[in-house]
Chain A
Amino acid sequence: MPGASNGRNGRAVARRSTKAIAIAPARVEVRKTYKLYIGGQFPRSESGRSYVVVAADGAPLANAVRSSKKDLRDAVRAARGAFEGWADRTAMNRGQVLYRVAELMEGRRDQFVAEVARAEGLRAEKAREVVNRAIDRWVWYAGWADKIAQVLGSSNPVASDFFNFTIPEPTGVVGVVAPETSSLLGLVSRLAPPLVAGNAVVVLASESRPLPAITLTEVLATSDVPAGVVNVLTGRKRELVPVLAAHVDVDALDVWGVPDDLRVDVELAAAESVMRIARRPAGVTDARFDWLDDRASERPEWIAAYLEMKTVWHPIGV
């Protein structure tokens, strides 16, 4: 692992007495290289850059990829390519594919718990609660796939001889600037809504706590979610968010995790292509939001933010 400082396991054996009785040497851990997830592949940045990710207690954890503008454009292209196919899936199929993600998350629960605990500085029990809730939330949103059209669609009793109905359709490519504080539960709560609606997504992971997001991509890659439907980048928000907001092939932008001082510029850039903007509710801060509150973060409105309503008129007559 290039540039990594001495790791956790190294520390434990460093001060052993040379006169110690012969014991089996401690096993050297095989560390993970955290990479990007673009178009179903795990590339490094074309820029060759990385940054050090530290735990909540300041200890270095790993090097994460510092994505470039080019990586971001590649991710948007991958999302655009995957969008139509994902949107064309039957609603029930989309629901099953997303449910399977929860199944696979369940199998990796311990890994997520350890990563979330380190990233967010949570005690094990709390981290377990957060991860459990992230899995359950994924299940909650997955179940909406074949129901949201019935709740948000309508047949409209027009005052003329026409059959008139309104159906929701996915908006297209959605940029999700993930919550900065809640590295997994917050991410899942913001990623699942555009996905279940049938959009393809480009995620900018939490800058300071990106590792659980990358582990989630390993789940996605082995699930049935088609390549390109979810793409995850790590890196500097200050560098990447303005590019995402100004990208004309991004149709909607979740600005939840955008740093406050960037928000005006980001929304100005997004307005240039009439991008849909999904904001945090007024008065809510990223750091204080309680993601464990189901009422607050299980909301069909969050799905609706990435849907377009299509109204159809057809004459009635013999």
Chain B
Amino acid sequence: MTTESKALRPWSGDRAPADWGLGDGQAVPWEYAPAPESKDVVSIKPRYGLFIDGREVAASDGGWFKSVNPATEEVIAEVAKATTADVDRAIRAGRRAQKTRWGNLPGKERAKYLFRIARILQERSREFAVLESMDSGKPIKESRDVDVPLVANHFWYYAGWADKLDYAFPGRVARPLGVAAQVIPWNFPLLMLAWKIAPALAAGNTVVLKPASTTPLSALLFAEVCMQADLPPGVVNIVPGPSDIGMHLVSNPNVDKVAFTGSTGVGKLIHKATAGTNKALTLELGGKAANIVFEDAALDQAVEGIVNGIYFNQGEVCCAGSRLLVQESVQDALIEKLKDRLSTIRVGDPLDKNTDVGAINSKAQLEKITELVEAGVAEGADIYQPACDLPDRGYFFRPTLFTNVAQSHRIAREEIFGPVLSVLTFRTPDEAVEKANNTPYGLSAGVWTEKGSRILWMVKKMKAGVVWANTFNRFDPTSPFGGYKESGFGREGGMHGLHAYVKLEDR
């Protein structure tokens, strides 16, 4: 089995072997006409520079790297590759702006800049959505209906806090920390930028942000928004580059605050980079969330939640519901419904408005997913994939469902960051709790039951920073988000998100 799997290339459109559980004739019985979103709304430049001190500049050593569309494997644009000297320059610009301008600006005035940014993001929303889908591979309906609206709302929400900080921390005066070093991932490039920049600016900090090297474009388009909003130079600085540039950024002694979203492995390195310093630190790391379905749950609703939980954004979500825990008595019924539902999922062109699951962000990520799926098969779990065709080019992976999964399997323990669901079962609520918490992660959990008291009991028992009851993968700027245990610490969103960007002094 293992050798056979190795030869298989599901992303290239090959059909999987029969024992991978592909059903015959399970394809959707109707056809969709192509419904491509127009690329006209965004004029993509051949090259994007760094954004330092209010200006677009080339890298100090003249280096460039390519940003690739994962759905077509074509180069979208070239991007300046920041050097350590560029990062240091950006930090100095941030310091200068914080000291001379932004830190002294009354909250009322800072607020108006943030409101401006929110409005411009709303006005240019489709442009951002298309560019985001091209650069990251996520379906246009998600970038258009989820990511970009949340981004604008996030700036809107924190704009209003800028002149009300005294009310967020009664009895204390909230002062800015200074310059924030921020490193963000590729799964929600623009949304993670908003989560980082909006509260930082509202509290009077300036930022140096490093976007992920596979998805720098929406951040650089955001630089244009900053210029359009006449944001003072140096308040926002953006330095795309590889991971060592991120480490250089967070290690620089001249930053006061470090915020990171990404893998737990890198998070630990960043934690170490701040050891012995007085830098404030927030980490939003990996997850292996349990989505728990009790026998009394509304199964059709649960199926929608399970699908949204693990196939949203190709499963490239730190809080994805990657472990389905289903009560034994309804396992068969639920799995049958789930398989039916999977057959209607449309995998393909991210810019097609009917696409549910787009492209995996990079070849490296596709290989990681494939490797873990092969491990699942090798370790004895039963795999099921719907019989959908995949595009000939680009990095695609079929929505995948594993049943007969043991807690010891790698697919039940490791974060896959792909459209792969592992199904485990339980008999009693206590067993569900034990299995759900049996992971070093603690980012999120889902609970499906019609019984209110059981929901709140499960809420209490879950070692997770976010618990979705009869829903999954919901986000809002007013709602704090972040992990327990090795999923990190600190919260983003809501009033709690401000706390990460202030120091509290006596009144």
Q: Which residue numbers of A lie inside 8 Å of B, CB to CB? A: 151, 154, 156-160, 162, 164, 166, 251, 263-265, 267-268, 270-274, 276, 279, 282, 295-296, 301, 304, 308-315
Contact = CB atoms under 8 A, between A and B. Distances in A.
B272 to A, nearest CB: 5
A159 B459 CA distance: 22
Contacts of B481: 311
Contact of B478 (A157, A268, A308, A310): A157
Given A164-B476, A166-B494, A313 B275 contact: no
A154 B498 CA distance: 13
A40 to B, nearest CB: 25
B480 A274 contact: no
B455 A314 contact: yes
Interface in B124-171: 153, 170
Given A274-B283, A311-B465, A313-B468, A160 B486 contact: no
Given A154-B496, A311-B467, A264 B275 contact: yes
A53 to B, nearest CB: 29
Given A154-B494, A154-B495, A160 B476 contact: yes
A311 B484 CA distance: 11
Most buried by A among B467, B470, B479, B486: B479
Nearest to A164: B479
Nearest to B452: A314
A304 B465 CA distance: 15
B336 interface: no
Nearest to A300: B171
B142 to A, nearest CB: 16
Contacts of A271: 268, 271-272, 275
15 contacts: A156-B476, A156-B480, A162-B471, A166-B494, A251-B485, A265-B275, A270-B275, A274-B267, A282-B278, A309-B465, A310-B459, A311-B465, A313-B469, A313-B474, A314-B470
Contacts of A264: 275-276
A151 B478 CA distance: 17
A209 to B, nearest CB: 25
B448 to A, nearest CB: 11
A156 B478 contact: yes
B464 A272 contact: no
Interface in B439-497: 455, 459, 462, 464-471, 474, 476, 478-482, 484-489, 491, 494-496
B496 A273 contact: no
Contacts of A282: 278
Contacts of A312: 459, 466-469
Given A267-B276, A279-B278, A310 B465 contact: yes
B285 interface: yes
Contacts of B465: 308-311
Given A156-B478, A274-B285, A309-B480, 13 more contacts: A151-B170, A154-B480, A158-B474, A166-B494, A263-B276, A271-B271, A271-B272, A272-B268, A274-B268, A309-B491, A310-B465, A313-B469, A315-B470
A160 B150 CA distance: 12
A263 B278 CA distance: 11
Contacts of A160: 474, 476
A274 B486 contact: yes
Contacts of B487: 274
A158 B478 contact: yes
Contacts of A296: 506
Contacts of A157: 478
A166 B496 contact: yes
Nearest to B441: A274
Given A154-B495, A274-B267, A309 B482 contact: yes
A162 B275 contact: no
A160 B276 CA distance: 43
Given A312-B469, A314-B470, A158 B476 contact: yes
Interface of B: 153, 170, 172, 264, 267-268, 271-272, 274-276, 278, 283, 285, 455, 459, 462, 464-471, 474, 476, 478-482, 484-489, 491, 494-496, 499, 504, 506
B458 to A, nearest CB: 10
Nearest to A159: B476
Contacts of A309: 465, 480, 482, 491, 496
Contacts of B482: 309
B245 to A, nearest CB: 21
Contacts of A268: 272, 275
A295 B171 CA distance: 10
A310 B464 contact: yes
B486 A156 contact: no
A273 B489 CA distance: 12
B471 A315 contact: yes
A221 B450 CA distance: 44
B500 to A, nearest CB: 11
A157 B495 CA distance: 11
A263 B272 CA distance: 12
Nearest to A262: B276
A160 B481 CA distance: 16
A308 B487 CA distance: 12
A166 B497 CA distance: 12
A186 to B, nearest CB: 19
A159 B504 contact: no
A159 B488 CA distance: 26
A311 B504 contact: no
B317 to A, nearest CB: 15
Nearest to B506: A295
B466 A313 contact: yes
Contacts of B486: 273-274
Contacts of B470: 314-315
B275 A166 contact: no
B480 A166 contact: yes
Contacts of A311: 465-467, 479-481, 494
A315 B491 CA distance: 22
Contacts of A315: 469-471
A273 B275 CA distance: 13
A274 B487 CA distance: 8
Contacts of A151: 170
A166 B491 CA distance: 11
Contacts of B479: 156, 158, 164, 166, 311, 313
A275 B389 CA distance: 45
A282 B459 CA distance: 36
